[in-house]
Structure 1
Amino acid sequence: MNLRLPFPALLLGSGALLLSACATVGPEPVAPILETPPEFVSSGSEAQENKTTDTRPWWLDIEDETLTKLISTSLEQNFDIGIAVSNLVQARAGVNAFRSDLSPQFDGFVDSQLQGILAETGDGDAEGSFSAGGVFSYDVDIAGRNRRSLEAAKARFEASAFNLSDIRRLTAAAIANQYIELRRAGARLVLLDSSLDIQSRTVEIVQARFDAGLTPALDVDRAAADLARTQAQRGLLNSSRETAGFALSVLIGEFPGSLDLGIPEDDIIPDFNRERHVGVPADLLRRRPDVRTAEKTLIAEIADIGVQEADLYPSLTLPGSIQIGDTTAGSTIAALTANIGAMIDIPLFDAGRRQAEVQIERAQAEAALFAYRRSLLGAVSDVESALVQIAALNERRVELNKAVDSSQSAYEQLDALYSEGLASFIDVLDAQRTLISSREALVENDANLALTKVSLYTALGDETSDLTES
């Protein structure tokens, strides 16, 4: 139950005392300072001083014109980005709407009437009236409800801006990931053709030896089976390449199949021409837009506590009106009237509803705080995981290169010995399979390394995430 007390214009002096006592209730909407480790655990062994701190977009370090064009197009045409832009416009309008609540509201009106009575003879009397004026009201905002609402709206606008930045970050990463997958499949197809050449030549040699009675039919069957197993991979690899191309089309806002990304023979797995300095975990508080979004969401929820607490206090509204008119037909006399008053709304009894709403908002703010902390932990974990994986993949790449060289040499020697009848066919097949497996593992490792570097630079965020406060 609320008690509303009207005040005549003569009592506005007491309203002035209320104006001077205006305050903003609730906690100040400020996010706490989160503690971070002094450095990334996984970067301690790396020579960070030799890495660039370039603030250009990370994908330019790959120096792939096709990839750069795809990412640029997606940042302009991607539908998720378009939705985020619309949400940002909506949030900006919300700020303007709440800002208007701090100003007086004024509406005008015009009223015109005509009345007449016609006599039986056809003569009649008519009279009219005309009035115009306006009504206004002003919420004094004693407890600061409107001010807290505006602060919450500003924070949500900033959260929408950072969310837009985050979607752009993730979209660029999605493009790079699908592009690498496409090139991985193409590189595997090229490797498949090379493996089929080796195996086809082996089948020809075995068949020739069988025809000469120098080897059993079992060797021919084994060689043919290996060739068929390798050939069976082509369909899946073609499917993977096409699927990645379809995904790229959708990410740039086009129908699947609209992109011409060349042929598998031209596919090279992208790689970064340089590495960047990873900085320290504290940098993520300003570089990661998802962390900034969580921060601004927390600030908005804290401001909403003040909005709900303000309902526990009286509110003061100053209504008024001004009118000119009441003029009868044929008269030149107009009347001017004005009225102003004050209305205090005092909350008395609501069975604890307002207090419950304050508790709800405090719980929501606490949840937003946990989400803010979780976003930072997740960001740090993303970077740490990527650094560990990159180190492991780099070490593995060195060993795989050695394995490919050794497997190539072993296969060539055994192939030559088998042709002379000095080695068993089983040894040749084993060497052949080892060579093909080593080559495939190297291609897979290169693709995984490229994907992990994309994950790292995506996890580090972007300097552009440090947006100007609204």
Structure 2
Amino acid sequence: MRKGITTSLLALALSACATAGPDYHPPEHSAATAPGAQGAFQSAQGAGFSNADLPDHWWKLYNDPRLDALIAEALTANTDLRVADANLTAAQAVLRETEAGRQISTTISGGETLARPSGVTQHLPGSISYDFGLSASYPLDLNGRIRRAIESSGANVEAVTAARDYVRVSVAAATAKAYAQVCAANYALGVNRRVVSLQRDTLNATQRLFRGGRGTAFDVSRAQAAVDQSEATLPVYEAQRQSGLYLLATLLGRPPADYPRDVEGCATLPSLGAPLPVGDGTALIRRRPDIRQAERMIASDTATLGVAMADLYPQVSIGGSVGLSGPLKDFGSGSAFGFSLGPLISWTFPNRPVVRARIAQADAQVQADLASFDGSVLEALRQTETALETYRRDAEKAAALDRARDSANVSAGQANKLFRFGRSDFLDLLDTQRSLASAESSAAAARVQLVQDQIAIFLALGGGWTSNDAGDQSAGNAQQ
């Protein structure tokens, strides 16, 4: 009877030799495969954009060795990246632990026992027995439970790698933005100091006219007020510069007081020498690490579903043991030796409702992953289109403000000449200089905003990690 039961169970286990659960395939009908997601960007119209693909190290497009060095340091010392690297190391360790499940496991046991039957005189010694054994088992993994677990852990490693890559993207963009903030603050300081210098020249001329009897104290006070008002803006830009320097230090893994001194005097805005390379939707979906992470989570949880389904079938392994046991006085005799060899079967058959519930949970998680993947694709496209449109409109605004500044500069020069020759009053001169100050400040702010917009585009496009840093075979799976 026992032999028949064992044979039946073994036959049932062998019937489950196929790997449990569905094999993973990239989503066929998803937001990533929609025609509207794979073409050119709607907002990348005009001479300022290029269909060329974004290079991995996009910051090199600025041709600024100082910026290159800062980002290289940040990608080495940034604390968020160190956390991401540690998370990746942990995920790789989990994978190694899972892979170890397919190896032979061994157990060594041993002990001795002193026993004395009840009723025996307490002065008599009891009998001493011993038990020593070695057992080993090898999982056959007939239903692929271990294989699915390894698949899940492997895909999770790739997902964590993608998360690490996304941190790299963010750190590179944040470093470039902080560097641009320092340069922009100094650039704006220079512009406003030139305005102050012009207004101070007017103030000096007004004071000379007043001393010569050709001006009034009212003219002097108004000229002084214009100088004071423009000078009041200078501390704001100095604070912005210092804030950018402190942020740079933090991104580089340094205390704020240890900010990079060689950046402190940067007064030239980072500038691109060519149109922005933006590629298309297909390249974006392949490149963005957060999309790759979402796709790898589908693969991981699909394999986890297979692990749950494998619990519907018996787990079979080949086991054996050898050992010595018996009274201590018979140690080493042939009667003390024993061994066993045969299949070991475990099955949670009475708990099939529990297993079914776990399968339902795992399947629901896969469906949630699919929705999250679609959401990641749509959000990436939205962010990119928004960043491109913002940059395009801000470029138009900057060009208009440049023209307004140039016109205000001409008007200020003309007003100054007319005032000096007595053909215009002082109020007209102050009005034109006030307009020039406003135009200079607005044009400078627009140029600064363009640099920030460029960095926002690079961030949205997912640039900043190198394909050689991580196996990105799965990055393109979402579109195949």
Q: TM-score range by the shorter chain?
A: 0.7 to 0.9
Asked if structure 1 preserves the Cα contact closer than 8 Å seen for 2:409 and 2:436, the reply is yes
- Indicate the residue corresponding to 2:405 in structure 1: 404
Whole-angstrom distance in 1 between the partners of 2:257 and 2:60: 25
* TM alignment of 1:282-293, pairs within 5 A: 282-293=282-293
CA contact (8 A) 2:131 2:326 kept: yes
Contact 1:288 1:460 in 2 (8 A): yes
1:162 CA displacement: 1.1
Q: Structure 2: which 5+ residue stretches go unaligned?
A: 116-123, 475-480
Structure 2 counterpart of 1:22: 17
CA displacement at 1:57 relative to structure 2: 0.9
TM-score normalised by L of structure 2: 0.84
Aligned to 2:375: 374
In the superposition, relative to structure 1, how do residues 315 and 330 fare at CA in structure 2: closer, same or farther (>3 Å)? Answer: closer
Is the Cα contact below 8 Å between 1:8 and 1:342 reproduced in 2? Answer: no
1:229 and 2:224 matched? no
Report what 2:339 is aligned to. 338
Call closer, same or farther: CA 1:426–1:274 in 2, change over 3 Å: same
What is residue 456 of structure 2 aligned with on the other side?
A: 455
For structure 1, which segment, 253-262 or 205-214, has the greater mean C-alpha deviation from structure 2 after superposition?
205-214
Could you give the per-residue CA deviations for residues 93-144 of structure 1, whole angstroms, max 9, x where no partner exists? 11111122233422223547899xxxxxxxx999987764322344444543
The 5-angstrom pairing of residues 47-62 of structure 1 reads 53=53, 55=55, 57-62=57-62
Q: CA, structure 1 residues 292+449, in 2 after alignment: closer, same or farther (shift >3 Å)?
A: same
Q: By how many angstroms is 1:296 displaced?
A: 0.6
Which stretch shifts more, 426-435 or 355-364? 355-364
Task: Evaluate the alpha carbon distance shift between residue 201 and residue 46 of structure 1 in structure 2; reply closer, same or farther with a 3 A threshold.
Answer: closer
Give the C-alpha shift of residue 231 in structure 1.
1.4
Moved more, 455-464 or 421-430: 455-464
The residue number in structure 2 matching 1:121 is none
Amino acid paired to 1:380:
L
Q: Secondary structure at the match of 2:261?
A: coil
Quote the residue 2:246 is aligned against. Answer: 246
Read off the aligned partner of 1:347 and give its amino acid letter: F
The alpha carbon displacement at 1:177 in A equals 0.5
1:431 aligns with 432
Using the TM superposition, name which of 129-138 and 78-87 deviates more.
129-138
CA distance in 2: counterparts of 1:370 and 1:263, whole angstroms: 44
Q: Distance in 1 between matches of 2:142 and 2:53?
A: 50
Residues 182 and 266 of structure 2 are in contact (CA less than 8 Å); yes or no, is this contact kept in structure 1?
A: no
Check if 1:467 corresponds to 2:471: yes
Q: What is the identity, as a one-letter code, of the residue corresponding to 1:412?
A: G
Task: Identify the residue that residue 134 of structure 2 maps to in structure 1.
Answer: 134
Residue aligning to 1:118: none
> What corresponds to 2:419 in structure 1?
418
Asked if 1 retains the 8 angstrom alpha-carbon contact of 2:152 and 2:301, the reply is yes
What is residue 164 of structure 1 aligned with on the other side?
A: 164
1:420-446: per-residue Cα shift (whole Å, max 9, x none)? 322122221221122122222222222
Q: 1:303 to 1:51 in 2, by over 3 A?
A: closer
Judge conservation of contact 2:19–2:145 (CA < 8 Å) in 1.
yes
| Shift in Å, 1:413 | 1.1
Q: Does 1:217 align with 2:227?
A: no
Q: What amino acid is the match of 2:433?
A: Q
2:10 partner amino acid:
G
Helix, strand or coil at the partner of 1:374? helix
Unaligned runs of 5+ in 1: 1-5, 116-123
**What's the C-alpha RMSD, in Å, of the aligned pairs?**
3.2
Whether the 8 Å CA contact 2:44–2:388 is kept in 1: the answer is: yes
Amino acid at match of 1:416: K
* Contact 1:272-1:450 at 8 Å conserved across structures: no
Query: Cα–Cα, structure 1 residues 177 and 256, in superposed 2: closer, same or farther, change >3 Å?
Result: same
| 1:210-253 C-alpha deviation (Å, 9 max, x unpaired) | 33443443332222222112111122211111111111101111
3-state secondary structure, aligned to 1:43: coil
Q: Deviations over 1:251-302 (max 9, x none)?
A: 1111002123347654111112223532220112221111101111122222
Secondary structure, aligned partner of 1:343: strand
CA contact (8 A) 2:411 2:432 kept: yes
Q: What is the rounded CA distance, in whole Å, between the counterparts of 1:353 and 1:220 in structure 2?
A: 89
Secondary structure of the residue aligned to 1:321 is strand
Q: Find the aligned partners of 2:58 and 2:232 in 1 and give their Cα distance.
A: 37
Please tell me whether the aligned partners of residues 54 and 278 of structure 2 are also in contact (alpha carbons under 8 angstroms).
no
Question: C-alpha offsets along residues 152-202 of structure 1, whole Å, 9 cap, x if unaligned?
Answer: 111110001111111111100000001101111111112222121111112
TM-score, length of structure 1 as denominator length: 0.86
In structure 2, the partner of 1:32 is 27
Instruction: After superposition, give the CA deviation of every residue in 1:64-115 in whole Å (9 maximum; x if it has no partner).
Output: 1221111000111111111111111111111111122233422223547899
* Alpha carbons 1:95, 1:150 under 8 Å: kept: yes
How many angstroms apart in 1 are the aligned matches of 2:458 and 2:41? 14
Alignment: residue pair count: 456
Partner in structure 1 of residue 179 of structure 2: 179
Contact 2:99 2:150 in 1 (8 A): yes
CA-CA distance at 1:26 after TM superposition: 2.8
Q: State the secondary structure of the residue aligned to 2:21.
A: coil
SS at match of 1:389: helix
